[in-house]
Amino acid sequence: MTAKKKLSKIRNIGIIAHIDAGKTTVTERILYYTGRSYKIGEVHDGEAVMDWMPQEQERGITITSAVTTCDWRNHEIHIIDTPGHVDFTMEVERSLRVLDGALVVFCAVGGVEPQSETVWHQADKHRVPKIAFINKMDRIGADFFKTVDMMKKRFRSTPLILQVPYFTGDTFEGIVDLVQQKTITWEEQHYGVVYHYVDIPQHIIPEAEKYRDRLIETIAELDDDIAEKYLEGLDIADQELTKAIRAATLRLRIVPVMCGTALRNKGIQPVLDAVVDYLPSPEDVPPIEGVNPNTKEVEKRISSEKEPFAALAFKVAMDEGRKITYLRIYSGTMKVGEDVYNANSGRKEKIARLLKMHANKRERINEAGAGSIVAVVGLKNTSTGETICDEEHPLLLEPIEFYQPVISQAIEAKTPADQEKLSAALAKFMEEDPTLKVKYDDETAQTVISGMGELHLEIILDRLIREYNTKVNVGKPKVVFRETIEKSVDVEGTFQRELGDAKHFGHVVLHLEPDKRGSGLTIINNIDISDAIAVYIPVIEEALRDASLTGVVAGYPVTDMRITIKRGTYREGESTGLGYKIAASTAFRDGCSQAGPILLEPIMTVDIMTPSDFMGEVIGDINSRRGEVESINPRGPISEIVARVPLKQMFGYSTDLRSATQGRANFTMQFLRFDKS
């Protein structure tokens, strides 16, 4: 992509949804209709362009977010196809962090499903404008209006219906476009490439008029010009309506809703039109904010090539041993061969190659500017969430928030040669995936990997064998616990020793108290700045944070606790940083032992969709797993059961659920909090 492309003609969008709602199928049609790919790749055949990893093709799911670029109506659309499985939520999180708009795909049969809610709230958190596409309208049980009602209730949003489905009997024929007041039908024999705008059939005109009136009423409440014309009974031109819908979408006041069936090639071209018409260009989004590392002041950068260069590294991938860093450029331009500055590490890096990505294929370019999403070869010391910028105008953008792992598994290499390969492979995986943690256990000589779920770890182990030819023995998955305390205590720690020729002294008094669940570790300093030991406070705080990584019950990190540094003693000529460090660590460990230490286990929110006939068996099974049913929502022949269950009790649940329901129920699970058993 040339840096000269007009910013108003660029769209950076993500396609997000619950697993199996049809995200990747929608993306494949978009690529085909925009001429980006010459044939349609189907997920069920393992041939989807965007699902290029062998693990994705075998399982028919998306694991890693894939980036591509296509053109529609002289606009350049950068698309990130994200995973729907909860184990890979981090991929969605980091994609939404750098995107300007989102296309949310819903299944017309399942409606708003659990992971749909998660991705919707992630988009809301980053204030990303959305359009919704209700997919699978050809399926038995598809209900467009019920899905729209669920969106209203679950998201407290204002869905704006732009299209209504058009059926002949039970057959989904096409859509009625309420803005242009036309029916759109597709020719199936041409894979949906050929489509026609025709007059609305007489028998559905009353329904079309009803929903168009609702559309205009909703927009009139948000746009004064439309309101004036509406109240005076004047005609409203399509362009005026489109402009008003765009303005309201960008302000997050409405979510335009469309429908179709991606698998049957109906409804995709109007979605592309909506991406161009309603979602923001880089010029429409607010200026990016960051902190100048030199002055510590907040600075803003508007999306322009005339501004100083600033970009965020949102993803790292290893490809044939080479590190590729994905960047979203917010301002300025970058060229091959230039030096750039990593504002997090304070180091210079060189741009060896610039690439425009199409899933795992690439196209070399020489220059990229504001609004672009590109891949770079050459950033050896840049990690996910770090800022790359102009050294003369440094800027630290807000980093990406990472999720904490909840499940771990012990692995050990089968041979010494495998051990070397294992260490190198895991180091590369950790660089790619910030939610993967690796720890070596000296006592058992095992390597412990921790991740977001059973599938997450399964994929890592599969990649070890396939990509690095590393043979490992695998232990059973284990739950990652946390520790906390139940009582408040005052405790003091003293260190006094002569090491070599120097004396080391430190003395601190701490107050430890339990805090509410999910609050983490809070350290409060009550020592006056004029006190002689105030200079050692940073050392004491660092020692407390280090000590909190290993609890006294079973060595798990300590959380949900408030530590107050009450006072300390200073000795002229003897007080040292080492002394206070050891004193603080000792006091912390003694205090934890005295304050009723307990283990906290990960509690999961489990959302089960089951035929109502099997509800009794499913609830009984949840109760037997120490679970607590929170709500039961009947949806006709299917019921949704929402429960909270300890993760430890959920291993092998998918097999048990299938057995209990003749394979007809499914579930999703996501981390809620650490809590008492």
For the chain, which residues score pLDDT lower than 50? 1-3, 44-46, 51-52
Q: Residue 523 pairs with which residues in a beta bridge?
A: 563
pLDDT of residue 291: 95
Number of residues that make up the chain: 677
What is the Cα–Cα distance from 394 to 398, expressed in whole angstroms?
A: 13
Take residue 411 and report the two structure tokens written for it: 């692995």
For 134-166, b where at least 16 C-beta lie within 10 A, e where not — what string? bbbbbbeebbbebbbebbeeebebebbbbbbbb
pLDDT of residue 63: 58
In sequence order, which residues have a C-beta less than 8 Å from that of residue 52 and are 6 or more positions away? Answer: 66, 359, 360
What is the Cα–Cα distance from 375 to 325, expressed in whole angstroms?
A: 5
Minimal CA–CA distance to 290: which of 302, 305, 304?
A: 302
Residue 589: half-sphere exposure toward Cβ, Cα within 13 Å: 17
What is the Cα–Cα distance from 634 to 324, expressed in whole angstroms?
A: 47
Phi/psi of residue 321, each to 5°? 85, -10
Minimal CA–CA distance to 165: which of 195, 190, 133?
A: 133
pLDDT of residue 50: 54
Take residue 664 and report the two structure tokens written for it: 């007809």
What is the Cα–Cα distance from 543 to 550, expressed in whole angstroms?
A: 12
- How do beta strands 310-319 and 298-301 pair? unpaired
pLDDT of residue 638: 79
Cβ of 677: how many Cβ atoms within 10 Å?
A: 11
326-347 pLDDT per residue, tens: 999 999 999 999 999 999 999 9
Please return the burial class of 189, using the count of CB atoms within 10 Å of its CB with bins 0-12, 13-18 and 19+. Answer: exposed
Take residue 453 and report the two structure tokens written for it: 């779920």
Sheet containing 561-569: give its strands across: 489-499, 502-514, 561-569, 521-525
Take residue 294 and report the two structure tokens written for it: 């030199």
Contact between 85 and 118 under an 8 Å Cβ cutoff? The reply is: no
pLDDT of residue 67: 84
Take residue 148 and report the two structure tokens written for it: 């729209």
For CA atoms 280, 284, 286, 287, the dihedral sign is positive
DSSP output for 123-153: HHHTT--EEEEEE-TTSTT--HHHHHHHHHH
Contact between 602 and 479 under an 8 Å Cβ cutoff? The reply is: yes
